[in-house]
A and B are shown apart, each in its own frame.
Chain A
Amino acid sequence: MEFPHIFWAVLGWMIFWAVVGRFAIRRAYLRRDLDTSNAPFVGAMLGAATGPFGLVPLYMNTPTITTRLMVAPALASVGMLMIAFGFADPDNFCVSNGSFVASQIVNGLIIGIIYGFMALGLTLIFSILGVVSFAHGEFYMIGGMITYFLTAVWFPGMNPVIAITIACLSAFALGALFERMFLTPMYEGKVDRPVEYGILVTFGLAFTIQYFVQATAGANPFKAARYFDFPRIRLPSADDPWLIKTSRGNMELFDTVSISNPRFTAAVMCIIVFGLLLLFLHRTWQGKALRAVSQDREAAAIAGINPDRMNMLAFALGGMIAALAGAMLVQAFSWLPQVGAIPAMRSFVILVLGGLGSIPGAFVGGVIVGLFEAAGTGCLPDAQKAASYIPAYGMIILTLTLLLRPTGLFGRRFASGAHGKF
């Protein structure tokens, strides 16, 4: 199915005015000596949504940019794109089939929550150490590997909860050890460019872990057994289960949306742990210390917090979160030593989209990326092409975010340490 030219014309029109808006609006704000940090984003979005009709008043008046002024054009341009798509390809499942759309949205949400959870670990590391950990995907991978080997090979029939706990603890220990051994010179000012050093050394760790696992466990894919079965539920009644219908491995809502058990468990677990983590960060001394260090390292040190200890805790905790995500997903995907690359890329995207070390940003960003990906894979007319483009969807979001609003969704404008700079 080929798109008619009208769709490409609309797309071209939107991109053209977005580019014009990005530069023109920034220039207008700059000329009036106003805050330009959000001007490119608003300019681009308003340009995409309304073309010159919205840009000209904005250029003339240069109002103070409020959240509403940012969100409305963004939603409007997404809406424009959807309408154009609907007109261009009316037979597409995404336009004509409501239940397909619903199941795509639910699946996108679920995978998005899991991505968001993964990215949470990276965000934690980034907000405190100022380092993008390129070994994040490898922590995810070893979490799954350890869980699989414990439950299926070394101690068959082991309770998965214990196995997951052991996997998380090992990842925690590995993270702490690595941080002590290789990341300490960063804060002591022994390295000229700490951010690059952090990237490279975690890159080396990723390389080592990945091939270590491949050398010891082999390159054959594994898949763990389901951790637990759904109870049999038929609602509202056994012979008319339109509301909810479960089998052991699957759940069906409203006769349309089907959710597989492993993903559902993973998502629920992620939400629970996310809640626990928020509690930890806001209610305990350690958590408050972590947040304090992420806001201002020196001030935290004056207040009696040892920032080095917090660095170690953050890196280990970040690795543990990734390992937990992996341990939950090893029952859903087949597991290879290379499996970490894909969620690691998603985490980078979410890290940037959510904003510098923002924890709610990671979650919202995860959901957005999940939905965007579901839309991309479900709606592109050529299924094979759509599948091949999967790695690109997230990266398109990443590049757009960096070009339009480098602080991301919930980014603080001023942050301390290396992560405050672009």
Chain B
Amino acid sequence: MTKTRIPQAAGLVLVLFFAVFPFIYTANDYPYIMHLLIASFFYAILASSWSMLSGYAGQFSFGHMGFMGVGAYTTALFSHYFYLSPVPTEFCTEFLIGGQYLVIVDPIGVTSSTLTQDCLRKALSMWDDSVQITPMPVWLGIMLGTLMGGLFGLVIGLLVLPLRAAYLALFTLGFSEILRAAISAEISITRGQAGIELPYLFDAGITLFGIHYDKTDKLPPYFIMLFLLLFCLAIMVWLTKSKFGLFVRALREDQDAAAALGVNTTRYKLLVFVLTSMIAAAAGAVMAHYIRIITPNNLMILQMSLVVAMAVIGGVENVVAAAIGAIMINFALELLRDSFQIGPLMVDMTVWRLVVFGVLLMVTLRFFRNGLIAPLIDYFTRGHVAAETVAKRRAATDEMDKAGEAESPS
């Protein structure tokens, strides 16, 4: 095995490890570790797609959490307001679709006294449980969320076409803040700060290979998140290796030069915006179904900064490195939670860990511009290239020197 294969082999080992981990790990903190891993995969998806958008395509966006929120809120609202019923409720807006009635529940605010008073609950109490209504399938909501994320990505991508660098960052920050304000303000629909609840990923549980998993089991969401991560990474790595990646990098380095050389800059900018926002939205939708509540605070700038920092520390120009960085940082942040005591001084690590994290971010930016993981991968994959180049150059200069010596009359 050559040295260049080491990153691939390591990646394969890592994937295999994550695939068998839930079956071999049996310690007491199993649910906690599993939850941590699911959250890590979630952040890994966000960080890698952000690095694709910002590091690879140079579209420095602060709206990634906004797209995540679009996905999560779409599936949340979809599962919250749409139901199928075999009989008309007579109270709600409803349409007859293939023998079933599609019921659209009316939005009614957040106060607990009105919780049971929307039109569908009214109808249910009149029927006395004689009619079985079906909620919408979860996968449909996730698909819709993903599509909606893509749609928002398209619109935002169109709007930011003429903007660059700092202006793009400020515009996307504005988008994210407006979205957050709108979600917190429209209480009657989104329930504002109280957050909106979602059904389980598998409400009836799921049977895999003869073993029944309860709806609260961590294993099915773990594998869904892992597959989503691997799928997204595969798409992004494939794209970066293809012509698309080349064009997008040209766009990052110099947009005008790329356009002059025949790259359709508008198209590729939009494509990369739509793609990454769809990925973020899909991750948000799945995660929302897993944690089962989504609030506007999930869209906060702090969350965004976490994703940005993870991508930067991993390596902002390499999607895989960003994903690994995110998983590692998420774990490190959890492990650093334990407070300790130096003499009389109690160090509350729950806050200090974030200070450490901030310093790490600054130092990484200042001294390791490609992040901490990406150079490691590069060392193995491209290290020999650099060594060869240096050797060739040295040989060439040596030869020239010799030739020069031979020519020059001594």
A interface residue numbers (CB < 8 A to B): 126, 130-132, 181-182, 185, 191-193, 195-197, 199-201, 203-212, 214-215, 341, 345, 348-349, 351-352, 384-385, 388-392, 395-396, 398-399, 402-403, 406, 418-419, 421-422
In this assembly, does B10 line the interface, its C-beta being within 8 Å of a C-beta of chain A?
A: no
- By beta carbon, the residue of chain A nearest B173 is A348
Using a CB-CB cutoff of 8 Å, which residues 348-375 of chain B contact chain A?
348, 351-352, 354-355, 357-359, 361-362, 365-366, 369
Inter-subunit contact B181/A185 (CB<8 Å): no
Find out whether the CB atom of B358 lies under 8 angstroms from the CB atom of A402.
no
Q: Verify B358–A207 contact, CB threshold 8 A.
A: yes
Measured CB to CB, the closest approach of chain B to A411, in angstroms, equals 11
19 example contacts (A-B, Cβ-Cβ < 8 A) are as follows: A131-B166, A185-B366, A193-B165, A195-B166, A196-B58, A196-B60, A199-B60, A200-B365, A207-B305, A207-B357, A207-B361, A208-B359, A208-B362, A388-B185, A388-B192, A395-B177, A396-B174, A396-B178, A403-B159
CA distance A260 to B218 in the complex (A): 55
Contact A385 B301 (CB under 8 A): no
**Cβ contact within 8 Å between B164 and A421:** yes
B170 touches A402 (CB 8 A): yes
> Chain B, 173-186, contact with A by CB distance < 8 Å: what is the 0/1 string?
11101101110111
Q: Which residues of A contact B182 (CB under 8 A)?
A: 389, 392
Shortest beta-carbon distance from B330 to chain A in Å: 16
Additional pairs, 17, CB under 8 Å, beyond known A199-B166, A385-B187, A390-B181? A132-B169, A185-B366, A191-B369, A193-B58, A196-B165, A204-B361, A208-B362, A210-B358, A211-B354, A211-B357, A215-B355, A384-B185, A388-B187, A392-B177, A399-B175, A403-B159, A421-B164
B162 at the interface (CB under 8 A from A): yes
Question: Is there an interface contact between B185 and A389, defined as CB atoms closer than 8 Å?
Answer: yes
Interface contact tally, CB-CB below 8 A = 138
A207 and B354 contact, CB distance less than 8 A: yes
Q: Could you tell me the distance between the alpha carbons of A390 and B185 in the complex, rounded to whole angstroms?
A: 10
Q: How far is the CB of B42 from chain A (nearest CB, A)?
A: 20
Task: Select which of B169, B184, B357, B366 is within 8 A of A182 by beta carbon.
Answer: B366
Which residues from A are CB-within-8-Å of B359?
A: 204, 208
Residue of B whose beta carbon sits closest to that of A421: B164
Structural contact, B167 and A352, CB atoms closer than 8 A: yes
Contact A392–B181 (Cβ < 8 Å): yes
B163 interface contact, C-beta 8 A = yes
Closest CB pairs A-B (n = 8): A208-B358, A388-B185, A392-B181, A207-B358, A395-B174, A204-B362, A204-B361, A195-B165
Nearest Cβ on chain B to A57's Cβ, whole angstroms: 27
> Whole-angstrom distance between the alpha carbons of A349 and B174 in the complex?
9
Given contacts A211-B355, A421-B164, contact A203 B308 (CB under 8 A): yes
- Are B178 and A214 within 8 A (Cβ)? no
Q: Does B82 contact A (CB under 8 A)?
A: no
Q: Does B45 contact A (CB under 8 A)?
A: no
B165 → A minimal CB distance (Å)? 4
Q: Which residues from A are CB-within-8-Å of B51? A: none
CA A108 to CA B351, docked complex, whole Å? 36
Q: Compute how far the CA of A152 lies from the CA of B162 in the bound complex, rounded to whole angstroms.
A: 50
Which residues of the partner chain A approach B354 to less than 8 Å between Cβ atoms? 207, 211
In the complex, what distance in Å separates the CA atom of A126 from the CA atom of B169? Answer: 14
Q: How far is the CB of A124 from chain B (nearest CB, A)?
A: 15
Q: Are A182 and B171 in contact (CB under 8 A)?
A: no
How far does the Cβ of A348 sit from chain B's closest Cβ, in whole Å?
5
B309 at the interface (CB under 8 A from A): yes
Complex-state Cα separation, A402 to B166, whole angstroms: 11
- Cα distance, A199 to B167, chains bound together (Å): 11
Minimum distance in angstroms from A118 CB to a CB of chain B: 16
